[in-house]
Amino acid sequence: MGNNRVRYRIHSRTSKAVAINNPVLDTEGLPRFTAIRAEHIEPAIDEILADNRRQVEAILASAVPQPTWKNLIEPLEAINDRLRKAWSPVAHMNAVVNNEALRAAYNACLPKLSEYYTELAQNARLFRALGTLRDSATFSRLDRAQQQTIDHALRDFRLAGVALPAREKARFKANAQRLAELAARFEDNLLDATNNWQKLLTDPARLAGLPEAARYTARQAAARAGEQGWRLALDFPTYHAVMTYAEDRALRHELYEAWNTRASDAGPDAHRWDNHPVMEEILALRGEQARLLGLRNYAELSLQTKMAPSTDAVLEFLEDLARRSRPQALAELAELQRCARDAYGLDSLEAWDIGFYSEQLRRRRFQLSAEDLRPYFPIDGVLAGLFAIVERLYGIRIAARGGVETWHPDVRFYEIRDAEGLLRGQFYTDLYARANKRGGAWMDECRVRWRRAEGLQTPVAYLTCNFTPPAQEAPARLSHEEVLTLFHEFGHGLHHMLTRVDWPGVSGINGVPWDAVELPSQFMENWAWERPALELFARHYESGAALPAEFFQQLKAGRNFQSAMQMVRQLELALFDFRLHLEPQPPTAARIYQLLDEVRERVAVLKPPTFNRFPCNFAHVFAGGYAAGYYSYKWAEVLSADAYARFEEEGLFNPQTGRAFLESILEKGGSEDAMTLFEAFRGRKPSIEPLLHHSGLTA
């Protein structure tokens, strides 16, 4: 055991010297983003993987026949933490500053990483050593987080095929490598298709209705290309602005078709980056992986690490919500159709009309547009308000810190400290849409909390969004929907950064079931609807005037505007994803759309046009870890709504309630069963009633 620790420490000192020439290998501090180049990536990963393989053999030699936490788990955590820290900035940069050389290096490493992790998880000697530790007398003397780490590891070994015969084990490993490559290809195709589409407008009349910020962004894009006019792209802020505000129906139709046929066999770039064969192969390999493990389908495999007890339970949950919400969704759609016909003379409401006429109806009913609110949500004010809210809830302090290397000039860096001034976490924010940046919003790990022999490793997060960037001299101003997005992602970040768990496998979001991990994020959104919270930050970017009372009343009154239509859309996606992974045979492209049509027939109230190729850009499921797990958003929303109901009962800023949520949920990570943690906070099992109430649905 002692010799093994010496070998690891010697290597750590050696790697620091090597890191002078290769910044990817410098994993002791924060990532050196400005120094990392594509040519650094593959050699660094090759070196770490080779060294890790040597270290695994040394660990086994030291731990067998008497494995302990000290001689088995700690050194394994050490080598894998170094690999995570080396790969984290690479994967992140590939998502936010993508270029051809970086993508090539990233994709070259994926099969190597997949091979390593599968090889590690199929190592029968490691599995036996873990089992020996689990069955030993020392196991009972470990703390709950340590026990959970071992139990999760044993489960993951089984799910990686450690017990399979040699031939099946090799097949499982090859499939895992191929799946990693296919997920990256799916995202690459989607990014390329998104970046490729551009449209230059020279007639200002075609921009009628668009907000000034969207016009400015389009004008700047044209100027950068040396053109006169307005250049539209498929970044989400532009797409959303056109679909919501553009009076030009033909323009809305054109963008709708371009957006919903990305990476497919249809639309303006038909067949160029077609994801259909990628999807077919992904689904076939996922099904084969499940069958190799003796399960009937991939949905069953997915649930092995989730809260939901069975595939039937998931289907029943989703279908019950659909039964409760579809009648109201049909009524909401009928109202929208009447408005479009009676007020605007539109006889037939098409998919590219929904966003526009919904906004018109919202204005007529509530005398308020989403754009009316935007001046009251300047980005710096929203961040300050968000920080003030969590400071009051959890007794923490958040402050910006300069002098930190980043990957783009827009990026900012912050630190979280507790009431005693101790550092609890750090995070980067990258908030604006730009070319070569993956769409959407997400939180990801840069560093995981881990109590090493050298001291405590502070958790570090990436918080990424795609908001409309600043226009001219004015600051970036968020829509209320974007405020909700920021609060959501920061909830994930708090879960990662405020953990008190010292072991990486169950620290922060690690080890948390996928259908519970959205609890802290959805929970945080609630404060963006409350007057006492909005008073902390909703101020006009020029005058400093607070959000007028009538605006707040109209905002609150519109909270559940078309909420049932939104509910059935999410249920449509969740049921489609889940049924797709229940298929007994690998679905063809035709079967994918047949399944989607069947789900829509039962749940949806809007039927898109035949050219719609939504599955080809459903990255959550085909590249983002939500396979047979998209239902998690609604499952966790039951938990988050019920958790928030306690604050409604006891006070939005009640410090005792905030401390209880911090200690029961945020600090515990994956160290205990998710339902046990929820019941510790709520004092009972979750109820669906708060979700129905918050969604404007009758029980």
**CATH number, span 2-163:** 1.10.1370.40
Roughly how many angstroms between the first and final C-alpha of the chain, as a whole number? 60
> How far apart are alpha carbons 554 and 551 in whole angstroms?
5
Q: Range(s) for CATH 1.10.1370.40 in the chain? A: 2-163, 374-557
The amino acid present at 70, given as its one-letter code, is K
The per-residue pLDDT for range 66-75, each reduced to its tens digit, is 999 999 999 9
Task: Name residue, tokens 């750090």.
Answer: 426
Q: Taking Cα atoms as reference points, which of 628, 36, 682 lies closest to residue 282?
A: 628
**pLDDT of 605 higher than 70:** yes
Cβ atoms 429, 411 nearer than 8 A? yes
Cβ atoms 25, 86 nearer than 8 A? yes
Give this prediction's pTM. Answer: 0.94
The per-residue pLDDT for range 241-292, each reduced to its tens digit, is 999 999 999 999 999 999 999 999 999 999 999 999 999 999 999 999 999 9
Q: Which residues are catalytic?
A: 489
The per-residue pLDDT for range 554-590, each reduced to its tens digit, is 999 999 999 999 999 999 999 999 999 999 999 999 9
The per-residue pLDDT for range 498-529, each reduced to its tens digit, is 999 999 999 999 999 999 999 999 999 999 99
Calculate mean pLDDT across residues 650-658.
96
Q: In sequence order, what are the residues at sequence separation of 6 or more whose Cβ sits closer than 8 angstroms to the Cβ of residue 131? A: 154
Cβ atoms 496, 532 nearer than 8 A? no
Task: Name residue, tokens 């560093």.
Answer: 447
Q: Taking Cα atoms as reference points, which of 240, 234, 204 lies closest to residue 219?
A: 204
The per-residue pLDDT for range 197-237, each reduced to its tens digit, is 999 999 999 999 999 989 999 999 999 999 999 999 999 99
The per-residue pLDDT for range 357-373, each reduced to its tens digit, is 999 999 999 999 989 99
Phi, psi of 377 (to 5 degrees): -125, 60
Residues in the chain, total: 699
The per-residue pLDDT for range 89-129, each reduced to its tens digit, is 999 999 999 999 999 999 999 999 999 999 999 999 999 99
Cβ atoms 668, 677 nearer than 8 A? yes
Cβ atoms 125, 64 nearer than 8 A? yes
Cβ atoms 308, 514 nearer than 8 A? no
Q: How confident is the model at residue 2 (pLDDT cuts 50, 70, 90)?
A: very low
What's the confidence (pLDDT) of residue 13? 30
Torsional sign, CA 479, 480, 483, 489: negative
What's the confidence (pLDDT) of residue 15? 37
**pLDDT of 426 higher than 80:** yes
What's the confidence (pLDDT) of residue 411? 98
Q: How confident is the model at residue 20 (pLDDT cuts 50, 70, 90)?
A: low
Calculate mean pLDDT across residues 49-77.
96
**pLDDT of 17 higher than 70:** no
Percent of the chain whose pLDDT exceeds 70: 97
> How far apart are alpha carbons 89 and 27 in whole angstroms?
10
CATH of 374-557, one of 1.10.1370.40, 1.10.10.60, 3.30.1370.100, 3.30.230.70: 1.10.1370.40
**pLDDT of 633 higher than 60:** yes
Extract the runs of DSSP E, i.e. beta strands, from 65-204.
198-201
Query: On the CB side of 355, how many CA atoms lie within 13 Å of its CA?
Result: 18
Q: Taking Cα atoms as reference points, which of 481, 460, 471 lies closest to residue 382?
A: 481
Helix (H) or strand (E) holding 309: none
> How far apart are alpha carbons 343 and 329 in whole angstroms?
21
The per-residue pLDDT for range 447-464, each reduced to its tens digit, is 999 998 889 999 999 999
Helix (H) or strand (E) holding 414: strand 412-418
> How far apart are alpha carbons 691 and 699 in whole angstroms?
9
Structure tokens at 522: 């959805």
Percent of the chain whose pLDDT exceeds 90: 94
Cβ atoms 426, 458 nearer than 8 A? yes
Structure tokens at 693: 């109430």
> How far apart are alpha carbons 266 and 553 in whole angstroms?
44
| 423-432/412-418 β-pairing | antiparallel
